[in-house]
Amino acid sequence: MKKAVSIVLGLVLIAGISANAQDLTTMYSTVKVTGSGLEMEQIYSMANLLELAEIASEEAELKELCITKSYEGKEISGLDMKKFLSLCGAEAVDEDEDVSILTGEKTVSAGDDAVIVLSADGVMPEDGIEILSDETMICDVREILMGDDLHYEMHNRAPHDESAEITFSFNLYKDGQLDITKTLTTTELETLALEHPEAVYGSWYGIIGNEEDIESMGTGGYLDYYEGLRFDFLLKEVLGLENFDGRAELFGRDGEVFSTIEDISYFEKDAGAYYMCTSDGDVIFGKAIPILAYAKNGSPLLPDHEHESEGYVRSTPIRDYLKDLGMEEIKLGVVKNHSGPFVAALGDCDGYYGGYQMETSGDCVQMDIYLN
């Protein structure tokens, strides 16, 4: 059995590219790969792409995936986007779909020569994922869309639509008495997301260590990509909350409180105040705004923890392909979309929540807020 190449953040070289503490934000920059030309939505960080490049450099079947080009006097190293999309399953569906590149500001048609940039003269991009296409460098790439956006991340098709009527409840207490209750179905939550894309947020969350000591992490360190609606938006727009002075309790499906936010002003901090903690103990600020998530690693969350239930996605086509080559312990392409359909994904925020812990919790069905 072949052993997959492991990525060590904060240390020496990955695919010949310098990786130090300053690069950590770039390492967790993310591109969403989706559209009608694929069978599922897929999420890849820069760290994932570098891992893929490292593997490709050692596998004869994948050597053509990595290419080098010259651009404005610099040597650009990266992944052939057309071959990358093929690994994502594009050939199995439709080769003739138009491919678009979406940034934070615009949408650009992808050329046949497009390259997902991993480095320029051996240095990673500073502003997230970049793609070189038709001699133009496209920065801050958020999404590669092949065909039409079918919103694979939502519960809008069988069997995921069986979760359409599952509800999440907000209860607001004033002076110890229940004052307001608002309930959203899965469909209503995702409709809000479609109507308010500015309130949709996705990032990497996980459980690492405990609230005090990273050394107690043990085998519990992991990160998954969750997408959903910002809690501050939901509390203001759905519950009508104006005064963020109080505490909140989060409930699981069993009716038990599994987490408490002692100061709900936590939910309305500037984005830069929230941080994620990697499995190496590195802190990355601005990457973990609190959300109520409906999707995990690009797939809609299932309402149970069963790994064999209909609609469960274990991994992406790239991971499946690499496993067929004998690589069992690779990190990229894991999905495991169980324990939903709602997840409270809560980033660390000094003085308000967390510590050395990034907390995510499945089976979150209710939030009770007690105003002071």
> pLDDT tens digits, residue range 24-74?
888 889 999 999 999 999 999 999 999 999 999 999 999 899 999 999 999
- Please check the confidence at residue 218 and state whether its pLDDT lies above 50: no
Cβ atoms 22, 62 nearer than 8 A: no
**pTM score, whole prediction:** 0.91
- Statement: residue 220 has pLDDT above 50: no
Tell me which of 241-245, 319-323, 324-328 is least confident: 324-328
61-96 CB burial, b ≥16 within 10 A, e <16: ebeebbbeeeeeeeebbbbbbbbbbbbbbbeeeeee
> For the domain with range 160-304+339-371, which CATH number is right: 3.40.50.360, 1.10.8.420, 3.90.420.10, 3.40.50.970?
3.90.420.10
- The SS3 of residue 169 is strand
| Per-residue confidence (pLDDT) for residue 4, from 0 to 100 | 33
Q: Are strands 224-230 and 359-361 parallel, antiparallel or unpaired?
A: unpaired
Kindly report the number of other CB atoms within 10 A of residue 291's CB atom.
27
Q: Which CATH homologous superfamily contains domain 13-146?
A: Oxidoreductase, molybdopterin-binding domain (3.90.420.10)
Q: What is the mean pLDDT of residues 124-143?
A: 93
CA–CA separation, 343 and 205 (whole Å):
11
Average the pLDDT over each of 35-39, 200-204, 305-309 and give the range with the smallest value. 305-309
How high is the mean pLDDT of the chain?
86
The rounded distance, in Å, linking the Cα atoms of 73 and 43 is: 31
Tokens of 48: 């994932």
Domains 13-146 and 160-304+339-371 share a fold: yes
Q: From CA 57, how far away is CA 63, in angstroms rounded?
A: 6
- Each domain of the chain, given as residue ranges in start order, spans 13-146, 160-304+339-371
Each residue of 330-340: pLDDT tens digit? 878 999 999 89
